[in-house]
Structure formats: C-alpha cells, structure tokens
C-alpha cells in the first residue's frame, strides 16, 4: 500500500500544478480576484499528508490485525464466490462507502474521533492540496467502523482495494474550480457537496459526509445543498503551521477538559460527547461569529518561500524513500526514521511561522541525518 502512494503522489502534484495554473488564468481573465492557494497553507497541507502516510506505516497495523482476526474467526461468508466477481467488488465498495459515512460522521459528532479528523478541516483554503491534508492518528480507532465488512466475509485484500478506490476518488472533489454538476450532485460526492462539508457557515456545519455517494446523506438526513459562499476552516482555528501540533491540538484540549472535569462520568463524557461539549458548571466558551473569521497568514519574503520549498522537497524525497522501504523495515528502524521525518516537518512548519531561523532548520535536519546515520539507515 505504501508503494502505491509513492506512485500516486506525483499524479497528485501534477493535478495541483494544473489547478494552480487554472487559478492564475481565471484571475488574469478577471473571473475572480481571490487565489484558492496560499503558499504556507499548501506546504502545511502537503507536510501533513506526508506525515499521515509516514506515521500510518506504524499505526495501520492495528486495524489490519483487528480486521484479520475478525475475518478469520467470525466471518459469515469468507469463501463466498461473490467476492471474486465484479458485482462482489462493487458491493464491497458500496458497503465500504457506507461504513466510511458513519466513520466520517463520528469524526464530526464524537469528540475523540474529531480529534483525529480535525486535521483535514484546519485549512482555510479549499484546493487539491487540502485533499492531502490527512490525520496521522485516524488509524488508531477508525478500523472499528469497518469490522462489519470482516463479519460479512469481505477478504482483507479486497478491503484494501476498495479502501484505496474510495480514498483516491475523494481527491478531485477538493476544488473550488468545478461548479455544480446537476444530477451528479444528487447522487455522488461532488466538489459542490464537499465544499459544503468543509465550510463553517451555520447551515453547512456537519453536513455531507459521503465519500463516493452523497445518497447516504440524503438517506440519513445530513445532506445540504451548496447555496451561500463557503467560509473554510474550523470554528476554533489552528493558527499554526506546526504539523505536529495540528495533529495533537484537539487531543490536548480534551485531556485538559477531562482533567478539569470534577466528576468521573464527565471526564469520560468529554471524549464521547460532541466536540465542544462541556459539563455542567464549566465556563461557557465564546460563540462563533463568521464575520470575525480572519485568515492566518504570517508574511514571508520570496527568499523564505524558496527556502521552505527546498526544505519540503527534501522532506518529500526522504519520505518517499521511507515509504518505498517501510514494509520491509524492522519496526524499530521504521520508528526512528518516522521520528526523524516528524522532526524535519516540525522544523519547516516552525520556519514558516518565524519561530526558527534558516540556520536552525538546517541544524535540526543535520541532527536528523546524524541520527539516521548512527542507526545505520543511510547506507
């Protein structure tokens, strides 16, 4: 699976380059005055996407092992001929998409799942790089929602295939440059439908969870058609380019809320209630005013942009090497390599915010390389 992502990533970058070209062309023609891309946001999204794959090498084993265990011991139809036919594959894809709908919905309606999923919503831009902005912790619990497929007997290999199809499909819907598509919008997840999902407008919050099909939203009452202009991001903005903090921010908030809750049942409820829930007696949080939303955009010079670009390209090259060899690595080596990549990604994010100077970023990278060399991972 890691090698498939390695092959897919250049395609993603090419699609982004095409979108950026089209974005500039539209502005040159006067069709719009606002770019859908911002440099630091794009680098941050790409860094988070790379980290999700890098960390996923270590985390996804939990879900794979759990699925295999259920499949081997509980599966009702593990040898069914249907799983070898095209209609069985299509059925498995539809079932997977239904399970994905409920996982995605839990990612907005249950705090512990939101803590993982929030990463994908933190960007205040909406473009193809946002599609790559994925969580590094989702694999820890997300597998729970796919166990019904194991019980039905969907083979693990087939699960992996339909999961990849479902994931890759969702890449193209993250764009503002495709308008409404008529009948397609009524059946499938489309750019229009998914723009609604990423918006913080009152009528749009917690809507349109479908991965491939938006039919699930129509069936379960969570569909919302795009009408007013979308405002993107989260109602509690991250305001940071730190990819590690992006993954940990909500978890840290939940830990603090659980610690402060006076009753044990409230300490548990903090994790299981909807995001933002507070026990009785807690100080109320300030309300959300969409008119006061401001873009997080610390200024960068041209030289700073070029330096950050070089750092990300180096990170991407190192991450590609890791993903290519990760499946054959002992877990200790994979962990050390993963930590080094996380440190390098953190340094680039800190540079974008002005928290580190270029020389300090290079020092962090040198320390990472020295660690990998001492561990024998550069030979």
- pLDDT for the residue numbered 1: 61
In a domain, 311, yes or no: yes
- With a pLDDT cut of 70, the percent of the chain lying above it is 99
- Whether residue 210 is found in the same domain as residue 306: no
Contacts of 192 (CB under 8 A, 6+ apart): 178, 179, 180, 181, 185, 225, 226
pLDDT tens digits along 34-87: 899 999 999 999 999 999 999 998 888 899 999 999 999 999 999 899 999 999
The answer to whether 254 and 112 are in contact (CB under 8 A) is yes
Q: Which domain holds residue 362?
A: 302-374
Whether 103 has a pLDDT exceeding 70, the answer reads yes
State residue 378's pLDDT score. Answer: 83
| 160-212 pLDDT tens trace | 999 999 999 999 999 999 999 999 999 999 999 999 999 999 999 999 999 99
**Nearest of 286, 276, 122 to residue 198 by alpha carbon:** 122
Total-model pTM: 0.95
Domain end position, chosen among 205, 220, 235: 220
Same domain, 198 and 51: yes
263: exposed, middle or buried (C-beta count within 10 Å: 0-12, 13-18, 19+)?
exposed
Among 175, 190, 220, which residue terminates a domain?
A: 220
* 69 and 195 housed in the same domain: yes
Asked whether residue 10 is assigned to any structural domain, the reply reads: no
> 293 in a domain, yes or no?
no
Mean of the per-residue pLDDT values of the chain: 95
What is the model's pLDDT at position 214?
98
DSSP codes, 272-340: HSPTT---TTSPPPPPP-GGG---------HHHHHHHHHHHHHHHHHHHHHHHHGGGS-HHHHHHHHHH
pLDDT at 296: 95
Cα 288 to chain centroid, rounded? 24
Q: Which two tokens stand for residue 166?
A: 């479902």
Same structural domain, 191 and 92: yes
Last residue of one domain, picked from the residues 188, 220, 252: 220
Please give the angle made by the CA atoms of 41, 46 and 48, to the nearest 5 degrees.
Answer: 95
State how many domains the chain has: 2
Q: Are 211 and 104 in contact (CB under 8 A)?
A: yes
Distance of alpha carbon 311 from alpha carbon 321, whole angstroms: 16
Percent of the chain with pLDDT over 90: 88
Contact criterion met (CB below 8 Å) for 369 and 361: no
Interatomic CA distance for residues 90 and 98, integer angstroms = 12
Please, are residues 222 and 207 in contact by the beta-carbon 8 Å criterion? yes
Closest by alpha carbon to 223, among 189, 176, 182?
A: 189
């Amino acid at each position: 699976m890691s090698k498939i992502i390695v092959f897919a990533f250049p395609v993603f970058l090419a699609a982004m380059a095409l979108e950026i070209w089209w974005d500039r062309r539209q502005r040159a023609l006067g069709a719009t005055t606002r770019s859908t891309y911002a440099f630091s946001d794009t680098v941050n999204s790409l860094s988070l996407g790379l980290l999700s794959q890098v960390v996923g090498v270590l985390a996804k084993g939990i879900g794979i092992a759990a699925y295999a265990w259920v499949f081997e011991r509980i599966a009702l139809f593990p040898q069914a001929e249907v799983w070898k036919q095209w209609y069985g594959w299509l059925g498995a894809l539809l079932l997977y998409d239904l399970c994905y709908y409920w996982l995605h919905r839990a990612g907005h309606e249950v705090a512990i799942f939101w803590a993982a999923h929030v990463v994908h919503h933190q960007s205040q831009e909406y473009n193809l790089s946002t599609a790559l902005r994925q969580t590094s912790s989702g694999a820890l619990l997300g597998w729970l929602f796919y166990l019904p497929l194991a019980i039905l007997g969907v083979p693990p290999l087939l699960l992996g295939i339909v999961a990849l199809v479902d994931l890759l499909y969702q890449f193209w819907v993250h764009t503002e440059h495709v308008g409404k598509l008529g009948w397609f919008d009524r059946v499938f997840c489309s750019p229009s439908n998914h723009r609604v999902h990423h918006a913080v407008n009152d009528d749009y919050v917690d809507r349109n969870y479908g991965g491939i099909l938006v039919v699930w939203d129509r069936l379960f009452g969570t569909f919302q058609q795009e009408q007013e202009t979308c405002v993107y991001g989260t109602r509690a903005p991250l305001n940071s380019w730190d990819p590690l903090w992006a993954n940990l921010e909500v978890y840290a908030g939940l830990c603090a809320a659980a610690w402060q809750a006076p009753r044990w049942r409230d300490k548990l409820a903090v994790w299981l209630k909807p995001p933002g829930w507070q026990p009785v007696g807690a100080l109320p949080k300030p309300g959300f005013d969409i008119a006061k939303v401001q873009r997080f955009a610390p200024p960068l010079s041209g030289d700073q942009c070029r330096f950050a670009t070089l750092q990300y390209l180096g990170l991407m090259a190192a991450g590609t090497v890791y993903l290519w060899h990760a499946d054959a690595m002992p877990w200790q080596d994979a962990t050390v390599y993963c930590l080094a990549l996380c440190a390098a990604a953190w340094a680039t994010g800190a540079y974008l915010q002005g928290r580190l100077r270029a020389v300090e970023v290079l020092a962090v990278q040198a320390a990472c390389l020295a660690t990998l060399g001492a561990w024998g991972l550069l030979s």
